[in-house]
């Protein structure tokens, strides 16, 4: 279930707000300049090839490309049996920014985007059919959990793809990880 947990960055152990209402999640994120949408489900097998996934969502991808100037779209997928899953998880766990929007649409599975917005951290547990767009320059990190299982469509304006500028801040290590937040509700 998609869930938003909002933490005070100064006391990050307990969320002050937790909601699983998609409308409320969208409104709370929009108030901070974060795009969040739920796209309709497309019937795809769990092992669908990237080309088939991109074709199934071609209209939604084309709309985002037109609206935001994205040049490329690709598919990233990770499963619990990947021998490098720990290294992949670690790569995204430190706070960083990007020079372009980070856009992800979850075709299957889940992961948590942590958005460091002023004195608050918004932890968005994204699920299948969730689209999130983190604006360029936003401090954030991503936790896929110890047993990652997700497939996402990614959109880029930069032909180099995912390029991070790490902040060096330790805030990501002070907030609850995926294991503690998974399935959290009111």
Residue 35, SS3? Answer: strand
- The residue to which tokens 């290294």 are assigned: 87
> Is 96 marked as binding a ligand?
yes
> Is 98 marked as binding a ligand?
yes
Asked if residue 105 lies in contact with residue 130, where contact means CB atoms within 8 angstroms, the answer is yes
Q: Which helix (H) or strand (E) holds 152?
A: strand 150-156
> Is 102 marked as binding a ligand?
yes
Give residue 61's Cα distance to chain centre: 16
CA angle 18, 162, 140 (to 5 degrees): 25
How does DSSP classify residue 94? S
CA angle 10, 13, 18 (to 5 degrees): 100
Rounded CA-CA distance 82/88 in Å is 10
List binding-site positions for Fe(2+).
Answer: 96, 98, 102, 140
List binding-site positions.
Answer: 96, 98, 102, 140
List binding-site positions for Ni(2+).
Answer: 96, 98, 102, 140
């Amino acid at each position: 279930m998609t869930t938003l947990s909002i933490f005070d960055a100064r006391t990050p152990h307990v969320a002050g707000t937790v909601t699983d209402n998609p409308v409320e999640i969208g409104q709370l994120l929009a108030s901070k300049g974060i795009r969040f949408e739920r796209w309709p489900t497309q019937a795809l097998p769990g092992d669908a090839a990237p080309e088939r996934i991109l074709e199934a969502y071609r209209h939604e991808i084309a709309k985002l490309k037109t609206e935001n100037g994205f040049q490329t779209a690709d598919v990233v997928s990770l499963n619990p049996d990947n021998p490098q899953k720990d290294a992949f998880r670690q790569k995204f766990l430190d706070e960083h920014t990007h020079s372009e929007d980070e856009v992800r649409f979850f075709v299957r599975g889940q992961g948590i985007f942590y958005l460091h917005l002023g004195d608050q951290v918004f932890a968005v547990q994204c699920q299948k059919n969730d689209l999130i767009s983190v604006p360029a320059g936003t401090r954030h990190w991503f936790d896929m959990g110890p047993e990652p299982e997700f497939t996402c469509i990614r959109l880029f304006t930069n032909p180099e793809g995912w390029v991070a500028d790490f902040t060096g801040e330790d805030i990501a290590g002070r907030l609850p990880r995926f294991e503690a937040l998974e399935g959290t509700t009111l």
